Amino acid sequence: QVSELVQFLLVKDQKKIPIKRADMLKNVIREYRDAYSEIVNRAGKTLQEVFGLQLVEIDSKRHTYILINNLPRVEGKYLCRDEEKEKMGLLLIILSFIFMKGNSVKDSALWEFLHLLRVYPGKQHQVFGDVRKLVTEEFVRQKYLEITPIPLTDPQEFKYQWGPRSEKEISKKDVLNAVAKIQGKDPTFWSSQYSEAEA
Amino acid sequence: NTVMAAQMTNAHRRFLQVLMSNGITEGSEARKLHQHCCETDKVYYAHDKLDDFISTINSHLQPLFMQIRKGISEDDGRAHYAVVNLAETEVTKMASDYTEMELELFRKTMDLIILSENGFASSTDILNLADQLKTKKMKKKEAEQVLKVFVEDKWLSEKNGEYTLHTRCIIEMEQYILSNYQDVARKCNICHSLAIQSQVCESCGIGMHLPCVRKYFRGQTEPRCPKCNEFWSCDTP
């Protein structure tokens, strides 16, 4: 069962879709329900030991899990396919923006910022295609971004924050250092972000 | 002979992660990756120890019924590596990426390719299949698009409007094909692996990979079949 669960998790995670406990029980564990935690535990250990992936519960109420990459992040061309790399590039820019703005930004502010990078929600982008869909659907589904409606706004406004996968996979310290490098300043220039990054 | 406990290091894990996300990795790329991983994770690196490196990973993948497998491209004879699922009884790896209808088209295309003389199926023949799918009839335009995706994802490769199985597909599905197409699937007489594209002896019917033919007949002015000794009728590549 452990090996079946490991394979199940790897395949599901390939799409970066969070895995529900219910799916695990139905598709893999089936009649071994009583041994559920034992099986999940062992699968987690195997994923870490063999693949360097960590099984993390991101929603303890709804019991959803994701696999995060536990290997030390490194620059270079081997990280992922080109298409993935470009999407990650855009994601990191968005996450940096959100972090530097105090961890939450309004949708209008984000799209204004992306405007400056010639990324428009209405137009098809040469590399990213439908950017609005990528940001508001794909990144959200993959738990990289979290978009929540702001109450009492008319027309409805939304706030954008880091999603649970970003919180686990991406280092705020690295983000701050990258921004500092681009702006030619010391990371301590942004005191609140610095203390948050060092925490 | 000292036997060292083969431990997984981050270098091994990184190598495995990249191999998995690539789908298929060519030999020289794999060697570069091996070096990169060892340097990044500060693990001892020896340029000729790639096989040992992979064996270590494989020993840990074995209880999971997975394996890093090496296969030879039928086009250029170069080695390629892929992570395969040994417990696969059908095209399960593809199952999560495609609809039922697309999978049926793929299976039927695979039938055409394996049953063919030369390992290729023409796009016309495949598009005609699309019309007869049991799940749901697929329009020609849609089928063309699906074929394009199969090529992009490296399950099929295309040459001059004809399709054959990509090296990745052959490495991943060799066992599946050999067991499900037992009577029809050809094995190369030289290397004994599955042969999709092959040259066939007109007299006794044995088949050989083109790169294997090239190697076997190198320097021979009168190529003869290794089994029945008749003149080899095909042009040696």
- Dump the DSSP string for B64-86: GTEEEEEEE-TTT--EEEEEEET
d(CA B135, CA A168) in angstroms, rounded, equals 42
More confident site: B136 or B91: B136
Answer for the pair A6, A46: CB distance below 8 angstroms, yes or no: yes
What is the structure's pLDDT at A83?
67
pLDDT at residue B70 tops 90: yes
A189 DSSP assignment: G
In chain B, the residue whose alpha carbon lies closest to the alpha carbon of A81 is: B22
If asked whether residues B169 and B215 sit together in one domain, one would say no
Give the count of domains, chain B: 3
A138 DSSP assignment: I
Answer for the pair B89, B176: CB distance below 8 angstroms, yes or no: yes
pLDDT at residue A22 tops 80: yes
Mean of pLDDT values over A64-77 = 77
Percent of chain B with pLDDT over 90: 41
Interchain contact B149–A (C-beta under 8 A): no
Domains by residue range for chain A, with CATH: 1-69 (1.10.10.1200), 82-198 (1.10.10.1210)
Q: Which of B174, B194, B223 is the last residue of a domain?
A: B174
Interchain contact A102–B (C-beta under 8 A): no
What is the structure's pLDDT at A48?
94
The C-alpha of B97 sits at a distance from chain A's nearest C-alpha, in angstroms, of 9
Interchain contact A69–B (C-beta under 8 A): yes
If asked whether residues B59 and B26 sit together in one domain, one would say yes
Percent of chain B with pLDDT over 70: 95
pLDDT at residue B50 tops 80: yes
- Residue B190 located in a structural domain: yes
Q: Do A71 and B17 touch (CB under 8 A)?
A: yes
Q: Do A50 and B16 touch (CB under 8 A)?
A: yes
The C-alpha of A110 sits at a distance from chain B's nearest C-alpha, in angstroms, of 31
Which domain covers residue B58, as residue numbers? 10-64
Q: Do B40 and A74 touch (CB under 8 A)?
A: yes
- Residue B222 located in a structural domain: yes
What is the structure's pLDDT at A76?
54
Categorize the per-residue pLDDT at B88 as very low, low, confident or very high, splitting at 50, 70 and 90.
low
If asked whether residues B120 and B145 sit together in one domain, one would say yes
- Residue B2 located in a structural domain: no
pLDDT at residue B110 tops 90: yes
If asked whether residues B60 and B126 sit together in one domain, one would say no
Q: Which of A2-11, A23-32, B11-20 has the highest mean pLDDT?
A: B11-20
Out of B18, B22, B64, the one facing A3 most closely (by C-beta) is B64
- Residue B180 located in a structural domain: no
What is the structure's pLDDT at A80?
54
Residues with Cβ within 8 Å of B35's Cβ and at least 6 positions away in sequence, in order, are B45, B47
d(CA A49, CA B8) in angstroms, rounded, equals 7
Percent of chain A with pLDDT over 90: 29
Say whether A146 sits in a helix, a strand or coil. strand
Please tell me the least confidently modeled range out of A2-11, A88-97, B41-50, B91-100.
Answer: B91-100
Categorize the per-residue pLDDT at B1 as very low, low, confident or very high, splitting at 50, 70 and 90.
very low
Using an 8 Å CB-CB cutoff, list chain B residues near A84. Answer: 21
Please tell me the least confidently modeled range out of A42-51, A65-74, A107-116, B103-112.
Answer: A65-74
Chain A / chain B CB contacts < 8 angstroms: 55
Interchain contact A27–B (C-beta under 8 A): no
Interchain contact B17–A (C-beta under 8 A): yes
Q: Do A76 and B8 touch (CB under 8 A)?
A: no
Q: What is the CATH number of the domain that holds B140?
A: 1.10.10.10
Using an 8 Å CB-CB cutoff, list chain A residues near B21. Answer: 80-81, 84
Q: Do B17 and A10 touch (CB under 8 A)?
A: no
If asked whether residues B220 and B166 sit together in one domain, one would say no
Mutate to test the interface with A, among B9, B43, B64 (most CBs of A within 10 A): B64
Interchain contact B219–A (C-beta under 8 A): no
- Residue B143 located in a structural domain: yes
Mean of pLDDT values over B109-123 = 91
If asked whether residues B126 and B190 sit together in one domain, one would say no
What is the structure's pLDDT at B60?
93
Mutate to test the interface with B, among A16, A17, A45, A50 (most CBs of B within 10 A): A50
Answer for the pair B130, B139: CB distance below 8 angstroms, yes or no: yes
If asked whether residues B149 and B97 sit together in one domain, one would say yes
Q: Beta A129-130 vs B199-200: how paired, if at all? A: unpaired
- Residue B86 located in a structural domain: no
Mean of pLDDT values over B174-178 = 87
The string over B23-56, giving b where at least 16 C-beta atoms fall within 10 Å of a residue's C-beta and e elsewhere, is bbbbeebbeebbebbbebbeeebeeeebeebbeb
Q: Do B17 and A50 touch (CB under 8 A)?
A: no
If asked whether residues B151 and B222 sit together in one domain, one would say no
d(CA A26, CA A33) in angstroms, rounded, equals 9
Q: Do B40 and A12 touch (CB under 8 A)?
A: no
If asked whether residues B165 and B104 sit together in one domain, one would say yes
Token readout for A48 is 């870490």
If asked whether residues B17 and B50 sit together in one domain, one would say yes
Using an 8 Å CB-CB cutoff, list chain A residues near B96. Answer: 11-12, 14-15
Q: Do A76 and B21 touch (CB under 8 A)?
A: no
Mean of pLDDT values over B92-110 = 84
Interchain contact A172–B (C-beta under 8 A): no
If asked whether residues B21 and B60 sit together in one domain, one would say yes
- Residue B59 located in a structural domain: yes
Using an 8 Å CB-CB cutoff, list chain A residues near B20. Answer: 10
Token readout for B19 is 């191999």
Residues with Cβ within 8 Å of B45's Cβ and at least 6 positions away in sequence, in order, are B34, B35, B38, B39
Using an 8 Å CB-CB cutoff, list chain A residues near B59. Answer: none
Answer for the pair A86, A127: CB distance below 8 angstroms, yes or no: yes
- Residue B44 located in a structural domain: yes
If asked whether residues B118 and B155 sit together in one domain, one would say yes
What is the structure's pLDDT at A178?
84
Answer for the pair A18, A65: CB distance below 8 angstroms, yes or no: yes
Q: Which of residues 73-102 of B touch A (CB under 8 A)?
A: 85, 87, 93, 96
pLDDT at residue A73 tops 90: no
Out of A7, A12, A84, the one facing B64 most closely (by C-beta) is A7
